[in-house]
């Protein structure tokens, strides 16, 4: 294709970022080597623009967890190095990881829905002290205390000795919290859902987990985890389209 120079500013404008972001991506290896004009100006081409689009699509997201972010970085680096086939393969791996996370999150919400409808979530019948409860649930004592500090659990104490005593209801609720935490939901999302469920037992569990209140500060991707994963799956499809177009045009960098 004919050589066409694009400036840093034009690249940034095309992908909707600051020019300094383009320079950062270059420094981090997310873009291939950029030739310079005799006057020292960077001389980007359409190939660099497409790579920048791929990198922004893959990386300009909320924090999805270390494994998914690392998969995104690897596919971008492969494409920057000219291995478009390898980048496409890694993008499908990225998609599989996102879809697995989404499936786990959906299934966890389904379990909570069943629990909210009265289906038992645990078979414990006797009261348990905190250490026994932690062993039963395969969590740490600190986790149980943290959930209580954050308002997810309210565990009564034995008036004779002051020890917490987890009832069957408390154990079932703690199990639900553990399932949701393992599926990626934030403490805020779980508290929001449990609070709404306490007011209205017909609460839509998935909507409550995924919809921050107007007065709620959204700090993490996991505060609205289902939406985040859906958006990342869409981004994965966009990355596949970018790479397939580049492969079809035989545009290795």
- For the stretch 125-145, pLDDT in tens is 778 999 999 999 999 999 999
Q: Which of 245, 234, 250 shows the shortest CA–CA distance to 57?
A: 234
Query: CATH number of the domain that 185 lies in?
Result: 1.10.1660.10
CA-to-CA distance for 32 and 11, rounded, in angstroms?
14
Q: How many domains does the chain have?
A: 2
Residue 65 lies in a domain: no
Indicate yes or no: pTM above 0.85: yes
Residue 147 lies in a domain: yes
Question: Residues 18-51: pLDDT tens digits?
Answer: 999 999 999 999 999 998 888 888 889 999 999 9
User: Do 115 and 203 belong together in one domain?
Assistant: yes
Residue 20 lies in a domain: yes
DSSP 8-state symbol, 61: S
Q: Where are the alpha helices (DSSP H) in the chain?
A: 8-15, 19-27, 46-59, 66-80, 84-116, 130-137, 141-149, 168-182, 187-199, 205-210, 225-248
Burial of 242 (0-12, 13-18, 19+ CB in 10 A): buried
Specify the residue for token string 């050589």: 3
Residue 80 lies in a domain: no
Domain limits for position 17:
1-60
Residue 192 lies in a domain: yes
User: Do 122 and 55 belong together in one domain?
Assistant: no
pLDDT grade, residue 251 (50/70/90)? low
pLDDT grade, residue 185 (50/70/90)? very high
User: Do 112 and 167 belong together in one domain?
Assistant: yes
Identify the three-state secondary structure at position 60: coil
């Amino acid at each position: 294709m004919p050589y066409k120079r694009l400036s840093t500013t034009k690249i940034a404008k095309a992908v909707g970022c600051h020019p300094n972001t383009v320079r950062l991506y270059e420094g981090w290896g997310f873009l291939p080597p950029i030739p310079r004009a005799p006057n020292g100006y960077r001389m980007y081409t359409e190939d660099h623009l497409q790579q920048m689009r791929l990198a922004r699509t893959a990386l300009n997201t909320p924090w999805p967890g270390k494994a998914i972010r690392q998969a995104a970085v690897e596919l971008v680096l492969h494409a920057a190095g000219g291995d478009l086939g390898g980048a496409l393969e890694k993008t499908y791996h990225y998609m599989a990881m996102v879809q697995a996370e989404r499936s786990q999150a959906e299934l966890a919400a389904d379990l909570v829905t069943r629990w909210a409808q009265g289906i038992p979530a645990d078979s414990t019948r006797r009261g348990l002290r905190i250490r026994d409860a932690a062993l039963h649930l395969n969590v740490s004592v600190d986790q149980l205390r943290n959930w209580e500090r954050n308002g997810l659990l309210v565990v009564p104490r034995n008036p004779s000795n002051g020890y917490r005593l987890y009832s069957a209801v408390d154990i079932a609720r703690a199990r639900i919290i553990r399932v949701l935490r393992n599926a990626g939901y934030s403490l805020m999302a779980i508290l929001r859902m449990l609070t709404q469920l306490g007011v209205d037992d017909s609460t839509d569990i998935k909507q409550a987990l995924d919809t921050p209140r107007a007065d709620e500060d959204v700090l993490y991707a996991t505060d609205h985890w289902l939406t985040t994963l859906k958006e990342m799956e869409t981004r994965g499809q966009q990355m596949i389209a970018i790479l397939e177009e580049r492969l079809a045009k035989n545009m290795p960098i």
